[in-house]
């Protein structure tokens, strides 16, 4: 099952890190970094479309982020609502479908309403899929999947002994999405941070020291070019070995 990654990845996931440090280095408040990060999201979505990456998944807000100061969280939520409103026409124009994963329905009602509207407006788009992980945690996702499957077992819909990896994958938030080919992390941190724990089992990982607000087409292209050089063995041996 060895394969050389000759083609561009179909599904790229990004841990967008470094907004706060970007702002601190410039003597700016953290929220300024998040605003600059929102601009980086727009650039990256456009770059992904140009590179014909059909699925882009962004780690936008984790469950752990609720531990941050209240004013920062409120600012992030305002930015989220503004971004959805401001970019909706562009997503529709480009034919990009919005998808959401995580416990996003637990966010404030006005934000949930805005997100549901965006989902509805872009539902018929088929030029690409932008997935935002909101109020997301990889462990919570797996826990929710276990609860779903356990419920089916209790009602007799499935036997515990028959539960397969496909059943687990189908109970995850990402059911229906293709496998993640490439995981990008900005700001140089070497950790997954509770993101897509099941999905990245055999994903290629590329880390850049660039802070997220400075990320754009150049960095995405570098990641894709590196991906093309990788040999994906999936636990097996290369034929050349």
Active site residue 117: no
Q: Which residues of 94-125 are buried (b: 16+ CB within 10 A; e: fewer)?
A: bebbbbbbbbbeebeeebeebbeebeeebeeb
Token pair for residue 4? 């050389």
Task: Locate the DSSP E strands across 40-89.
Answer: 55-62
Q: Are 114 and 77 in contact (CB under 8 A)?
A: no
Euclidean distance between CA atoms 36 and 19, whole angstroms: 8
Euclidean distance between CA atoms 209 and 162, whole angstroms: 44
Residues 6+ apart with CB under 8 A from 138: 192, 194, 195, 196, 197, 198
Catalytic residue among 7, 17, 113, 144: 17
Angle at 51 between CA 115 and CA 31, to 5 degrees: 45
Distances (CA, A) of 100 to 6, 116, 126, 175, 183: 29, 10, 16, 11, 18
Catalytic residue among 39, 65, 125, 194: 65
Active site residue 65: yes
What are the φ and ψ backbone dihedral angles of 234, each rounded to 5 degrees?
55, 40
Beta bridge partners of 131: 57, 99
Active site members: 17, 65
């Amino acid at each position: 099952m060895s394969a050389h990654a000759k083609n561009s990845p179909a599904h790229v996931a990004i841990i967008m890190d470094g907004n706060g440090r970007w702002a601190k280095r410039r003597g700016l408040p953290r929220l300024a970094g998040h605003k600059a990060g929102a601009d980086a999201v727009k650039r990256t979505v456009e770059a992904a479309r140009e590179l014909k990456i059909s699925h882009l998944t962004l780690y936008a807000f984790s469950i752990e982020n609720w531990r941050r100061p209240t004013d920062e969280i409120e600012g992030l939520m305002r930015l989220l609502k503004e971004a959805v409103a401001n970019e909706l026409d562009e997503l529709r124009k480009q034919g990009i479908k919005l998808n959401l994963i995580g416990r996003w329905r637990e966010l404030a009602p006005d934000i949930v309403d805005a997100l549901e509207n965006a989902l509805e407006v872009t539902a018929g788009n088929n030029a690409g899929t932008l997935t935002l992980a909101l109020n997301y945690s990889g462990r919570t996702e797996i826990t929710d999947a276990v609860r779903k499957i356990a419920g089916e077992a209790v009602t007799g819909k499935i036997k515990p002994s028959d539960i397969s990896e496909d059943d687990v994958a189908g109970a995850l938030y990402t059911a229906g999405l293709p496998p993640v080919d490439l995981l990008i992390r900005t700001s140089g941190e070497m950790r997954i941070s509770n993101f897509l724990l099941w999905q990245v089992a055999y994903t290629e990982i590329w880390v850049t020291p660039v802070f997220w607000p400075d990320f754009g087409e150049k960095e995405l292209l570098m990641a894709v070019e590196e991906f093309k050089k990788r040999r994906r063995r999936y636990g097996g041996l290369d034929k050349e070995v």
